[in-house]
């Protein structure tokens, strides 16, 4: 699977110099925009060179090895090309063309035909009706239609969040949103109709991928619920999944897009619960939540201490925390006493109201008191950005969170655009709303809790095994007696 993201040579089948040719945009990306070093060939009717990529009329004419074929020809000629790839010994194909099982009976037949050829030659196919892969590390990108400025801005930096996405439109939103995020994408894969490679295969691969710390998914359907669950169960990395089709109307709309089966959404819901996959409620959570995993230690308990200098947020966040299944930490008289010694604090019981102004020293003392307290598992700070010092204090808080091994989901009470601006400028993991911050704590705790439970179950199994072994040893002893 790794070769899909790190091919040494590629052929783009269907890339030509005709106007509006989509294959040509792939050649352009790989040859002109990307520092990708491998050979790139084009296959078209005239055998013409496309954006500096040597052209051939037939796949079998290409000299040298070809690791990966990208097919973006009209659906009806795709089976023929897949066969050529098989004959040429190419083991990996990305089929970006549409017009397969998402597009009526004719398309379904074509997709079945491709599947038959694939099996005969032992190939792996991604798609059809997809964008294929983006690897931000080597900047290999086989998406069609990418413009120079998008390539440069979106694919500039490499990060640690990988995406399995069943739609090109969502890829754009995620990459665009990462422009002002503290996290960036590692690998992105658009799997389309999933005739062969499906979400479970990709989870399995990304689990082994060193760069990937969090796996995120946008799905319009699930190919094999059991396979998905069995593979996801083995994964220790957080998996966040958004799936369309909670309603009959949603299922119907998705079907016309990427041709899924009319899955029962409950099957997916249960598969997620049993395998520790966190189902998210909106596309924005796919890019806003991962930073709680990459930039903060896990939330190991439910007790949250909240502090603010905008009193209103005490009530708002208390409601949100409790509704999310978390708890307002109960601060003992000793902790409250320690807090009140730090300065002129309005209210030292949780939610803590810091009052309008505060020194850096007071901030640091409050961080230490709360993070070191055995009454507190995590923080929900809502500091107003009334002074540049507050930004410095937030930066110190992030460091202290790692020292103490407890997370903080930080929300600064401002208009979203201002928060985004500050997050981008100072590279601090800010959330744009109290809802988002609480949700981040919730998913952090759920992820931690699931794996703790799994470990406990494993320990019990191991213990029972040992018990049985000692039983049988005892049996042997008795028999031997």
Q: How far is the CB of 317 from a copy of itself (least distance, A)?
A: 8
* 412: CB partners within 8 A, 6+ apart: 382, 383, 384, 385, 390, 394, 418, 419, 422, 430
154, 29 Cβ separation under 8 angstroms: no
Choose the binding region for a copy of itself from 77-85, 194-202, 282-290, 397-405 (rule: CB under 8 A). 282-290
256 part of the interface to a copy of itself, by CB under 8 A: yes
Q: Which of 260, 215, 220 is nearest to 240 (CA)?
A: 215
3-state secondary structure at position 335: helix
417 part of the interface to a copy of itself, by CB under 8 A: yes
Query: CA Rg, the chain, in Å?
Result: 26
Work out the number of other CB atoms within 10 angstroms of the CB of residue 277. Answer: 26
Q: Could you say which of 177, 207, 336, 359 contacts a copy of itself (CB under 8 A)?
A: 177
- Compare residues 175 and 277 and give the one whose CB is closer to a copy of itself: 175
Work out the number of other CB atoms within 10 angstroms of the CB of residue 154. Answer: 24
251 part of the interface to a copy of itself, by CB under 8 A: yes
152 part of the interface to a copy of itself, by CB under 8 A: no
CA torsion 243→207→436→369, rounded to 10°?
Answer: 160
Q: How far is the CB of 104 from a copy of itself (least distance, A)?
A: 11
Choose the binding region for a copy of itself from 84-92, 349-357, 394-402, 451-459 (rule: CB under 8 A). 349-357
Q: How far is the CB of 416 from a copy of itself (least distance, A)?
A: 6
Residues binding a copy of itself: number (CB under 8 A) = 62
220 part of the interface to a copy of itself, by CB under 8 A: yes
- Compare residues 235 and 241 and give the one whose CB is closer to a copy of itself: 241
CA distance 216 to 232: 12
252 part of the interface to a copy of itself, by CB under 8 A: yes
391, 318 Cβ separation under 8 angstroms: no
104, 168 Cβ separation under 8 angstroms: no
- Compare residues 74 and 475 and give the one whose CB is closer to a copy of itself: 74
Q: Could you say which of 77, 364, 398, 420 contacts a copy of itself (CB under 8 A)?
A: 420
Q: Could you say which of 35, 105, 122, 282 contacts a copy of itself (CB under 8 A)?
A: 282
- Compare residues 175 and 202 and give the one whose CB is closer to a copy of itself: 175
Pairing of strands 92-95, 327-328: unpaired
CA distance 61 to 415: 59
- Compare residues 315 and 475 and give the one whose CB is closer to a copy of itself: 315
250 part of the interface to a copy of itself, by CB under 8 A: yes
Q: Helix %, strand %, coil % for the chain, to 5?
A: 50, 15, 35
318 part of the interface to a copy of itself, by CB under 8 A: yes
- Compare residues 73 and 348 and give the one whose CB is closer to a copy of itself: 348
- Whether residue 210 is preceded by a cis peptide bond, meaning omega within 30 degrees of 0, is no
CA distance 420 to 42: 42
Residues found near a copy of itself in the complex (CB under 8 A)? 145, 166-170, 172-173, 176-177, 179-180, 218, 220, 244-254, 256-258, 282-284, 310-319, 321-323, 328, 347, 349, 351, 353, 356, 384, 413-418, 420, 432-435
């Amino acid at each position: 699977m790794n070769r899909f993201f790190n091919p040494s040579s590629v052929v783009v089948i269907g890339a030509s110099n005709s106007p509006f040719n989509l294959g040509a945009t792939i050649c352009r990306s790989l040859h002109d925009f990307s520092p990708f070093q491998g050979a790139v060939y084009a296959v078209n009717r005239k055998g013409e060179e496309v954006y500096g990529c040597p052209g051939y009329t037939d796949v079998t004419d290409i000299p040298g090895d070809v690791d990966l074929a990208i097919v973006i020809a009209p659906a009806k000629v795709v089976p023929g090309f897949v066969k050529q790839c098989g004959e040429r010994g190419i083991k990996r194909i990305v089929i970006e063309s549409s017009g397969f099982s998402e597009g009526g009976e004719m398309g379904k037949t074509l997709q079945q035909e491709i599947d038959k050829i694939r099996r005969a030659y032992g190939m792996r196919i991604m798609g059809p009706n997809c964008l294929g892969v983006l690897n931000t590390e080597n900047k290999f990108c086989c998406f069609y239609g990418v413009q120079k400025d998008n390539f440069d801005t979106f694919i500039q930096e490499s990060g640690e969040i990988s995406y399995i996405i069943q739609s090109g439109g969502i890829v754009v939103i995620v990459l665009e949103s990462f422009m002002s995020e503290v996290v960036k994408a590692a690998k992105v894969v658009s799997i389309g109709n999933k005739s062969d490679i499906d979400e479970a295969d990709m989870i399995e691969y990304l689990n082994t991928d060193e760069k990937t710390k969090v796996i995120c998914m946008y799905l319009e359907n699930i190919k094999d619920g059991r396979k998905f669950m069995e593979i996801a169960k083995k994964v220790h990395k957080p998996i966040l999944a958004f799936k369309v089709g909670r309603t009959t109307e949603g299922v119907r709309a998705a079907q016309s897009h990427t041709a899924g089966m009319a899955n029962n959404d409950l099957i997916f819901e249960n598969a997620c619960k049993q395998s520790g996959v966190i189902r998210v409620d909106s596309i924005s959570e796919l890019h806003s939540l991962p930073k709680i995993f990459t930039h903060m230690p896990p939330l190991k308990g439910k007790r949250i201490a909240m502090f603010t200098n905008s009193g209103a947020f005490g009530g708002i966040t208390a409601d949100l925390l409790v509704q999310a299944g978390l708890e307002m930490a109960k601060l003992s008289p000793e902790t409250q006493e320690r807090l009140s010694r730090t300065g002129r604090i309005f209210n030292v019981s949780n939610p803590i109201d810091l009052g309008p102004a505060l020194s850096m020293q007071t901030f640091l003392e409050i961080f230490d008191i709360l993070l070191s307290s055995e009454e507190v598992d995590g923080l929900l700070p809502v500091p107003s950005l009334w002074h540049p010092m507050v930004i410095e204090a937030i930066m110190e808080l992030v460091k202290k969170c790692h020292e103490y091994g407890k997370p903080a989901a930080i929300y600064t009470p401002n208009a979203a655009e201002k928060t985004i601006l500050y997050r981008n400028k100072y590279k601090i993991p800010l959330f744009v709303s109290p809802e988002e911050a609480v949700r981040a704590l919730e998913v952090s705790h759920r992820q931690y809790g699931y794996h703790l439970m799994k470990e406990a179950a494993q320990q019990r199994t191991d213990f029972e095994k040992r018990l049985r072994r000692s039983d049988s040893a005892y049996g042997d002893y008795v028999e031997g007696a």
